[in-house]
Structure 1
């Protein structure tokens, strides 16, 4: 069956039709947040100041605000740029599925303080309300990424690009065919999903529009995501796979310096697949993978068992911080981040504002997490067979190696000494 799904589109349709009666729910979504806005999202707007103005107007008119501080919510979801406009080096970033530019805010501000210029866009369907994800497509996201990247490229002499999760897919696809990109920075690149069902998303998005519905309590991202969003993500995977696996070996590779942050136990992404792509399809000698985990990726061990090149192992077995493993999202935030960082004091080891207890554990453990019990931290669905079975888990939302990551980004862009690039901490 798996071979059929990999090689035969009609086979995928058949399986989708067989599964549809099992997964279609009878829920009625009368809440306005599940309806698409009548006003179209502004796309292909230039210059950047006009883009900011039009996106800001769109969000003010269409966002389903979840708090009384509408200004703070708006700022989290707005595209932005930081750093001097006369800087010759610029980094262009694209966020992930369901996320917002806020996910890059701390990384960007830290880099801009060191002289880099950073621009972050907002993908259509994001920032307003979950219902606006009903009208998105991969083609729309790729077109907008390419357009805004072209605009930014005209303003800098040294262009760097990158993204988080789906955003890493989009910017990698953009890099094929360009000769002006000096380096790439990817956070949890989602080159392949761990979940087979994601392969079906492009074929069932109109039949089953809401695979998960949650209360919206996070000003920086959606908790509920419409199936067209998952379908657009999967189409980016399909397009990237087509480019990586073409028979033309030169056309399937990117000879561009690259830095990747990868969480070994990422519940979303097939990280062994990412490691294989890192070694096979990114061919420039200046490349590095910060592997957050305990076990060397198979792709690296095949290259050289004793001294794998281009990889730094960052142990996430950190009992002093109650950390068991890195998560899909944790690379992007420091311990001091206002929303996702580590809170000290009476509520030690909890996140500052956002504590994600819906983490794949049973209802009793989740309730204890929500009640404020001291928790351990890891990715969704993490379990440690060597730990007590009643250990309470929450999502890890920050990166204990944040400063090391920043040093590596600056070294990639030659904004810091080159010997700091891919150096073990």
Structure 2
């Protein structure tokens, strides 16, 4: 498959390097908590990441009070009393969204390629060939993560985040805390 951003292409060396660095990060987190501000975004129904591990690790190991976990879906178990975990629903029927995808959290609805009116529609989404063909012909679709199915609905990949502006505001708040801490350290 070819598309302008090569999303479906897997760079083997890049995956290997990511695996090595994430393994090192996990080992470091097992030894000691991380005390700097962290900003994380997770779609609960992500088919690629271990979202339960991420929620647990955020609450237990990323200890800075300015850290934030933006979580799209039902609140994770450990989030109950952690005010740093910000939960937004990932099922938005008014926008024909069944659940969020990991790639969608990164893109604005105004993105010309992946946005709500973007020119790239990812129909290859783990459904049967008939639904994929209908999607490719331009049939009305619902949007979801990889592999989500629901009777009577055709799903394309959700490639944008309706909460993108809010999410960026949260990120800027974390970055502002980092900047303030750096300024205090330099005084």
Size of the aligned set, in residue pairs, is 177
Q: Find out whether 1:265 has 2:77 as its counterpart.
A: no
Q: CA deviation at 1:410?
A: 2.1
Q: Find out whether 1:243 has 2:17 as its counterpart.
A: no
In 1, are the aligned partners of 2:97 and 2:144 still within 8 Å (CA)?
yes
Q: CA deviation at 1:235?
A: 2.1
In 2, are the aligned partners of 1:272 and 1:299 still within 8 Å (CA)?
no
Q: Find out whether 1:297 has 2:76 as its counterpart.
A: yes
Q: Find out whether 1:335 has 2:126 as its counterpart.
A: no
Distance 2:121 2:19 in 1: 28
Q: CA deviation at 1:405?
A: 1.0
Distance 1:230 1:411 in 2: 30
Residue 321 of structure 1, aligned match among 95, 108, 111: 95
Distance 1:240 1:273 in 2: 13
Distance 2:51 2:144 in 1: 16
Q: Find out whether 1:362 has 2:124 as its counterpart.
A: no
Distance 1:408 1:298 in 2: 22
CA RMSD of the aligned region, Å?
A: 1.7
1:71-86 correspondence runs (5 A): none
Query: What runs of 5+ residues in structure 1 fail to find an aligned partner?
Result: 1-214, 247-251, 344-351, 416-425
After TM superposition, the score normalised by the length of structure 2 is: 0.87
Q: Find out whether 1:220 has 2:10 as its counterpart.
A: no
Distance 1:331 1:342 in 2: 13
In 2, are the aligned partners of 1:365 and 1:390 still within 8 Å (CA)?
no
Equivalent residue for 1:160? none
Query: What runs of 5+ residues in structure 2 fail to find an aligned partner?
Result: 178-187
Residue 232 of structure 1, aligned match among 12, 17, 23: 17
Equivalent residue for 1:413? 175
Distance 1:314 1:406 in 2: 14
Distance 1:224 1:405 in 2: 27
Q: Find out whether 1:393 has 2:173 as its counterpart.
A: no
Instruction: Report runs of 4+ in structure 1 exceeding 4 Å deviation.
Output: none
In 1, are the aligned partners of 2:29 and 2:61 still within 8 Å (CA)?
yes
Q: Give the 3-state SS of the residue equivalent to 1:413 in structure 2.
A: helix
Superimposed CA distance per residue, residues 372-400 of structure 1 (whole angstroms, 9 cap, x where no aligned partner): 1010001101134xxxx231000001110
Residue 55 of structure 2, aligned match among 275, 296, 310: 275
Equivalent residue for 2:183? none
Q: Which one has more relative contact order, counting CA pairs under 8 Å at least 6 apart?
A: 2
In 2, are the aligned partners of 1:260 and 1:288 still within 8 Å (CA)?
yes
Between structure 1 and structure 2, the one with the greater Rg is 1
Equivalent residue for 1:353? 119
Superimposed CA distance per residue, residues 157-185 of structure 1 (whole angstroms, 9 cap, x where no aligned partner): xxxxxxxxxxxxxxxxxxxxxxxxxxxxx
